[in-house]
A and B are shown apart, each in its own frame.
Chain A
Amino acid sequence: MNTKTTTRTWYVRPEEPLQSDAAAAERGPSRRVHTRVNLTQILIGVVLAAILVVLGWSVLTNKNMGWDIVVKYLFSPLILKGISVTIELTVLSMVIAVVGGAVVALMSQSRNIVARAMGGLYVWFFRGTPLLVQLIFWYNLALLFPRIGLGIPGTDIWMDWDTNQVISGFTAAVLGLSLHEAAYMSEIIRGGINGIPKGQMDAALSIGLRRGAAMRKVILPQTLRIIIPPTANQFISTLKSSSLVAVIGGGDLLTCAQWIYSENFKVIPLLLVATLWFLVMTTAATVAESYLERWFCGNKERAPITLIAPANEEE
């Protein structure tokens, strides 16, 4: 026999019935593997924990933190009022921003070139300017238009108001936040629409739907699932950036904290009160988000259950 040809037997798995879970269980438990002890990791952990304890201790025991004052103001009526304004401001602005963002997104997807240009211009402007500048701008709108009027053309119906009365700190805050967030929301929604495979529109059209109906009934519902996580993130970020409205006396949590410390000069304790409440709100929003996500996106991940145990070649 030629030395170069090595005899090689090719393995063929003998035929056998498909294994069920019960059969797999009969093979008995797998060998127990013990976790390795890693000294370096333990050491790093200990050092970090020590640093944390020292830092925490110095913060908690620092006289200037004024924890007694923090406790005193944590549930004071003005602070609670501020919290409710912050929530109102965030929810209201986000609702307006989602609706406005959808309109802008549809405009920038439109086949009409003017609509497309307007959509692009909007996003370019509101994403390109700082929120703080916009807020101050809206607050001072009265300098630009001393009176705001609403009327129906061709009739005598005409109402107008003194701008300074209409644009309170709160309305300026809602206006500024929602216009700003709408630009971001439109980008999120546009990304969501583009994330839907083109075939979905083809299929909807091919069974006889009109383009608008296909958009509403087929594309947008699927977009929802994509845009929920980034929208929730946007909500949380708005919750925090809404504190910027303090510069125009928006009446939010930070504004209220400032009002209080401008009288009693307990700056740090009141900022701590605000910080704690912001943490509570963002944490709650994060938890709510994860539930929302599971609720909307959950069934997509529901994998079919198979009864066939994975093949085990070593047997």
Chain B
Amino acid sequence: MTTATPLLELENVHKWYGQRHVLRGIDLRLHQGEVVCVIGPSGSGKSTLLRCINQLEKADAGTISLGGVDVMHEKRRGKLFERSGKDVAAFRQRIGMVFQHFNLFGHMSAVENVMFGPRQVNGVDKVVARARAMELLDMVGLAARASQLPTQLSGGEQQRVAIARCLAMEPEILMFDEATSALDPELVAEVINVMKELARAGTTMIAVTHEMGFARDAADAIVMMDAGLIIEEGPTAEVLNAPRHARTALFLGHVANRPDNRPDSRPANRPDV
């Protein structure tokens, strides 16, 4: 698997916000069917990383390639040029993104949210798009709420609609940016279950999450970020059970103590409080 071309490859990606160096040289590889969890303290650049990958923010240096093709630049007559807006949109379409605050289109019902992308971007016929949207809503367990507006749905339901909206575009990679951290504790599970289901079905995923239960069950690898750098990456069990970087161990200790992670994911060597 590791010998094939990675589906997504980042090389030495940098990002500045003004004077602030937010990503300081990120290298990352993601292969077809892999699930990677990105963890790290607040402000370490996890969201910025995902936003750079689908170019909601422009990376200032480095290369990002999807299926071996540079998504930011194209070569013409031996020179590198920025990609056109049309190309960028086409790349974004291949990478789905689920946001912390769902970002459902407020003026559209659940099913219209899911139909919107295929209709607008791919010009799919209305009847076909609606039928497909209903299938997807059914998959996330919300077929019965298809005609509700986002304001009439709970956070967990909104997030599941948002996932369906992504899936409707049939992306090659799904990215989750703390998809459950704006949810009430009792609603987290319904979203996590959908994410686990997708992982089981072989979806390629990058998930920024602090749900260690999800990481343990579904992730192939963990990437630990701190201050704009990846400080450790490795197979899930190795990173979680025997972190090599002291910062990772410390961070995992903090995360494990969050009430929603307590039951099964606390490192064995930590005393009971």
Residue positions of A touching B, CB distance < 8 A = 197, 199-200, 202-211, 213, 217-218, 221-222, 225, 299-300, 302, 304
**Chain A nearest CB, measured from B162 CB (Å):** 8
A225 & B107 in contact (Cβ 8 Å cutoff):
yes
Whether the Cβ atoms of A203 and B92 lie closer than 8 Å is: no
Identify which of B89, B117, B151 contacts A300 (C-beta below 8 A).
B151
Q: In whole angstroms, what is the CA distance A222 to B105 when docked?
A: 9
Shortest distance from the beta carbon of B186 to any chain A beta carbon, whole Å:
16
Most chain B CB atoms below 10 A, which of A197, A208, A210, A304:
A208
A207-B103 contact given A202-B56, A304-B152, CB 8 Å threshold:
no
Q: Would you mind naming 14 contact pairs between A and B with Cβ atoms under 8 Å apart? A: A200-B103, A202-B97, A203-B97, A203-B99, A203-B104, A206-B54, A208-B89, A208-B92, A208-B117, A210-B85, A211-B85, A217-B120, A302-B152, A304-B152
Q: Are the C-beta atoms of A213 and B107 separated by less than 8 Å?
A: no
At the interface, yes or no: B242 with Cβ under 8 Å from chain A?
A: no
Would you list which residues of chain B between 236 and 261 have a CB under 8 Å from chain A?
Answer: none
Known contacts A200-B106, A218-B105, A300-B149, A207 near B116 by CB under 8 Å: yes
Which residues of chain B have a CB within 8 Å of any CB of chain A?
51, 54, 56, 85-86, 89-90, 92-93, 95-97, 99, 101-107, 116-117, 120-121, 149, 151-152, 162, 165-166, 168-169
Q: Would A203 and B86 count as touching, CB distance under 8 A?
A: no
Which of A204, A205, A211, A225 counts the most chain B CB atoms within 10 A? A205
When the two chains form their complex, are residues B107 and A222 in contact, meaning their CB atoms are under 8 A apart? yes
Chain B nearest CB, measured from A278 CB (Å): 35
Q: Are A208 and B90 in contact (CB under 8 A)?
A: yes
Bound-state CA distance A306–B104 (Å) is 24
Across-interface contacts of B95 in A (CB, < 8 A): 206
Contact B103 A203 (CB under 8 A): yes
Cα A204 to Cα B108 with chains together (Å): 13
Closest residue of chain A to B90, judged by CB?
A208
Residues of B within 8 A of A300 (CB): 149, 151
The 4 A-B residue pairs whose C-beta atoms are closest, nearest first, are A208-B93, A199-B103, A203-B103, A207-B117
Secondary structure dominating the interface of A: helix
Chain B neighbourhood of A206, CB < 8 A: 54, 56, 92, 95-97, 166
Bound-complex Cα distance A305 to B198 (A): 33
Cβ of A200: which chain B residues have Cβ within 8 Å of it?
Answer: 103, 105-106
Please measure, in the bound complex, the distance between the C-alpha atom of A206 and the C-alpha atom of B168, giving whole angstroms: 12
- B121-A209 in contact (CB<8A): yes
Q: A199-B103, A206-B166 are in contact. List 19 more A-B contacts (CB 8 A).
A: A199-B99, A200-B106, A202-B56, A203-B97, A203-B104, A203-B165, A204-B105, A205-B89, A206-B96, A207-B93, A207-B165, A208-B121, A209-B120, A209-B121, A217-B120, A221-B107, A222-B105, A302-B152, A304-B152
Query: Does the CB pair B166–A207 fall under 8 Å?
Result: yes
* Chain A residues positioned under 8 Å from B152 (CB to CB): 302, 304
Which B residues touch A205, using CB under 8 A?
Answer: 56, 89, 92
Provide the residues of chain B in CB contact with A199, threshold 8 Å.
99, 101-103
Does B99 contact A213, Cβ atoms closer than 8 Å?
A: no
Q: How far is it, in angstroms, between the C-alpha of A302 and the C-alpha of B151 when the chains are bound? A: 9
CA distance A203 to B114 in the complex (A): 12
Chain B residues within 8 Å of A304, by CB: 152
Cβ of B166: which chain A residues have Cβ within 8 Å of it? 206-207
Complex CA–CA separation, A200 to B54 (angstroms): 15
Which residues of B have CB within 8 Å of A211?
Answer: 85
- Nearest-neighbour CB distance to chain A for B13, whole angstroms, equals 18
Q: Which residue of A lies closest to B86 (CB)?
A: A210
Which residues of the other chain, A, contact B104 by a CB distance below 8 angstroms? Answer: 203
The reply to whether A213 and B120 contact each other, CB–CB distance below 8 Å, is yes
Task: Report the separation of the CA atoms of residues A207 and B116 in the bound assembly, to the nearest whole angstrom.
Answer: 9
